[in-house]
Amino acid sequence: MAGKIAVITGASMGIGEAIARIFANHGATVVMLSRDAGRVEAARERIGHSERTLALACDVRHREEIDRAIGLTLHHFKKIDLWVNNAGHGLLDSVAAMEMAKFREMFETNFFGAVVSMQAVIPVMRQQSGGTIINISSVAGTSASSR
């Protein structure tokens, strides 16, 4: 991982923060993205490696914010070797009780956010002749409940 530039969405807590920590501990430069600037900066401080980490606010539901994060990453580090689509959240309601607006918002982040992020970063990776995209998913969507 030494010398690699990794961008991680949903990096302010949980799996995203853990991935950022592992990458940074193994020598990568890590750009941590989250829609909450304060929380992602706090996660960055917990990880350490301040010389090789950058925390940016980015809501993956908005293409312009993804483009801004990519532009800032390229400005600071000149390339993107890894992009980790980790931003996401779940709903605990049953399908029968679920509010469609909240369900659509979840899909905007969990699914469309990942797709739009890939559409934004793939041209960068093609231009630099390489890169890796990692998509994080949850098995929670495979369990049914009759609540």
Q: pLDDT at residue 70 above 80? A: yes
Given CA atoms 99, 60, 46, 135 in this order, what sign does their dihedral have? positive
5-138 fold: Rossmann fold (3.40.50)
Beta bridge partners of 55: 32
The pTM score is 0.90
Tokens of 118: 């890939």
Tell me what pLDDT residue 144 has: 54
Q: State how far the Cα of 117 lies from the Cα of 9, in Å rounded to an integer.
A: 9
Give the model confidence (pLDDT) of 80-132 as tens digits. Answer: 999 999 998 887 777 788 888 988 998 899 899 999 999 999 999 999 999 99
DSSP secondary structure code for residue 122 in this structure: H
Give the model confidence (pLDDT) of 32-62 as tens digits. Answer: 999 999 999 999 999 999 999 999 999 999 9
CA distances from 109 to 11, 39, 94, 104, 130 (A): 14, 17, 19, 9, 26
Tokens of 47: 């990880």
What are the sequence ranges of the domains in the chain? 5-138
